[in-house]
């Protein structure tokens, strides 16, 4: 199970809190340029629109930049939580 909640939004950014349950998968989605902050550790697979699979391990507090993309996430570890700051 996954849950996405809007935490903040203005004319420049949108901040989402995403909780991803163990073994759950997000459906394919498009995201704008963004910064991701892992609030907990994570072990997941990111699948791009081209089918390319990337297995990732993230630590609590890790921060990453992602350019706009279409992708889906498969959680292959424990439940995890992230903040996504999308630029408008």
Note the pLDDT tens digit of each residue in 32-72.
999 999 999 999 999 999 999 999 999 999 999 999 999 99
* Cβ–Cβ under 8 Å, residues 39 and 66: no
**pLDDT at residue 75 is higher than 80:** yes
Strand partners, 20: 2, 80
Distance in angstroms (rounded) separating the CA atoms of residues 5 and 35:
16
Pick the CATH number of 2-87 from 3.90.79.10, 2.60.40.420, 2.60.120.10, 3.30.565.10: 2.60.120.10
**pLDDT at residue 22 is higher than 90:** yes
Tally of CB atoms within 10 A around 82: 21
Q: What are the residue boundaries of the structural domains of the chain, listed by start?
A: 2-87
CA angle 73, 76, 80 (to 5 degrees): 75
Name the band, by pLDDT with cuts 50, 70 and 90, for residue 1: confident
pTM of this structure: 0.90
């Amino acid at each position: 199970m996954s849950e996405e909640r809007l935490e903040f939004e203005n004319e420049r950014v949108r901040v989402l809190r995403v909780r991803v349950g163990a073994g759950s998968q997000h459906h394919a989605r498009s995201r704008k340029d963004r910064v991701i902050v892992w609030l907990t550790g994570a072990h997941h697979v990111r699948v791009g629109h081209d089918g390319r699979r990337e297995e990732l391990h993230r630590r609590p507090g890790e921060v990453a930049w992602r350019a706009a993309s279409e992708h889906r996430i498969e959680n292959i570890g424990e439940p995890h939580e992230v903040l996504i700051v999308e630029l408008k």
